[in-house]
């Protein structure tokens, strides 16, 4: 297991970006003194319900990862999974993690991995080509499309599985122009769906820089859901593990203060 939940027993744990509390309850079940923060009330409410259903206790607070309200050196352990790549300034958020950790405290942070199949092949090659084809197929009708787009409101989609995502990418293109397809812009709209405003992906070198104030920085690449790809289900699990290790989508960073 990548996250050593059991090691958090009796320790003050801060989770940044709780989502529905799935990892939070694991910390609490393992005896952590848990505080969960998130930018949205909806995520905090889902986390509270999750804890309540299991009879667990914790502190839940609305906070922005870039400006935490906790005093310096408040926590033994800071955990954040799939969150700090969604904040506009990831470095500021990592500096906040460092500030609130006690000396000797540990951080485990998962960020999206740039040198991955998902980033290089699926997002930058496949998805970009599909959006480009959609744009080209509307040549000659773009002025009318642009006028119509002004009156469209967000569809509220999350993820990339809904067939309407190509329409939304095209809509984003109408608003932003050709710069929408630049790698640094396009990635924002291709990880958690086309309406996601901010998402970055980081290489190991980027992560070294982000965590330069920390000690004992180690990294592990993971997550390659082979079963989502044609023929993927036919391959042995060892292949999935090999690919996850080399070109997986999750970059876990383990670091100490």
Ligand X SMILES: C[S@@+](CC[C@H](N)C(=O)[O-])C[C@H]1O[C@@H](n2cnc3c(N)ncnc32)[C@H](O)[C@@H]1O
Chain residues that interact with ligand X, rule: CB under 6 A: 16-17, 19, 22, 38-40, 43, 64-66, 81-83, 86-87, 192
- Least Å from the CB of residue 125 to ligand X: 24
Going by C-alpha positions, the residue among 37, 94, 35 that lies closest to residue 66 is 94
- Least Å from the CB of residue 146 to ligand X: 30
Q: Are strands 33-38 and 12-16 parallel, antiparallel or unpaired?
A: parallel
- Least Å from the CB of residue 228 to ligand X: 18
Going by C-alpha positions, the residue among 42, 41, 39, 3 that lies closest to residue 24 is 3
Helix, strand, coil distribution of the chain in percent, nearest 5? 45, 20, 35
- Least Å from the CB of residue 205 to ligand X: 23
C-beta closer to ligand X: residue 82 or 105: 82
C-beta closer to ligand X: residue 109 or 168: 109
C-beta closer to ligand X: residue 28 or 135: 28
Give the separation between CA 144 and CA 179, rounded to whole angstroms: 20
C-beta closer to ligand X: residue 81 or 128: 81
Integer-rounded Cα Rg, in Å, for the chain is 20
Q: CB–CB of 127/119 below 8 Å?
A: no
Give the separation between CA 159 and CA 194, rounded to whole angstroms: 8
Ranked by CB distance to ligand X, the top (closest) residue is 19
- Least Å from the CB of residue 147 to ligand X: 33
Count other C-beta atoms under 10 Å from residue 17's C-beta: 22
Going by C-alpha positions, the residue among 9, 63, 4, 64 that lies closest to residue 34 is 9
- In the DSSP assignment, the letter for residue 37 is E
Give the separation between CA 13 and CA 5, rounded to whole angstroms: 10
C-beta closer to ligand X: residue 125 or 159: 159
- Least Å from the CB of residue 116 to ligand X: 17
C-beta closer to ligand X: residue 34 or 170: 34
C-beta closer to ligand X: residue 170 or 250: 250
Give the separation between CA 203 and CA 194, rounded to whole angstroms: 22
Count of all residues that appear for the chain in the document: 257
All residues at 6 or more sequence positions from 167 whose CB lies less than 8 Å from its CB, including other chains: none
- Least Å from the CB of residue 84 to ligand X: 7
């Amino acid at each position: 297991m990548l996250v050593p939940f059991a090691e958090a027993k009796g320790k003050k744990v801060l989770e940044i970006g709780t989502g529905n509390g799935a990892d939070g309850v694991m910390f609490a079940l393992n005896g952590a003194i848990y505080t969960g923060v998130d930018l949205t009330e909806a995520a905090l409410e889902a986390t509270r319900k999750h804890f309540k259903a299991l009879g667990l206790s914790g502190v839940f607070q609305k906070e922005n990862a870039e400006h935490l309200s906790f005093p310096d050196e408040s926590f033994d352990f800071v955990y954040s999974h799939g969150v700090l790549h969604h904040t506009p300034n990831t470095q500021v958020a990592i500096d906040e993690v460092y500030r609130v950790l006690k000396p000797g405290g540990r951080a485990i942070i998962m960020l999206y991995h740039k040198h991955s199949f998902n980033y290089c092949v699926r997002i930058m090659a496949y998805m970009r080509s599909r959006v480009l084809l959609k744009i080209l197929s509307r040549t000659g009708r773009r002025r009318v499309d642009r006028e119509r787009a002004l009156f469209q409101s967000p569809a509220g989609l999350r993820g990339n599985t809904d067939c309407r995502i190509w329409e939304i990418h095209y809509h984003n293109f109408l608003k932003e122009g050709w710069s929408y397809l630049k790698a640094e812009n396009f990635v924002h709209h291709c990880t958690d769906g086309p309406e996601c405003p901010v998402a970055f992906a980081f290489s190991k070198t980027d992560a070294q820089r982000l965590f330069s104030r920390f000690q004992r920085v180690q990294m592990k690449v993971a997550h390659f859901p082979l079963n989502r790809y044609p023929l993927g289900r036919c391959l042995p699990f060892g292949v999935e593990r090999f690919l996850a290790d080399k070109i997986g989508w999750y970059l876990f960073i383990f670091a100490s203060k």
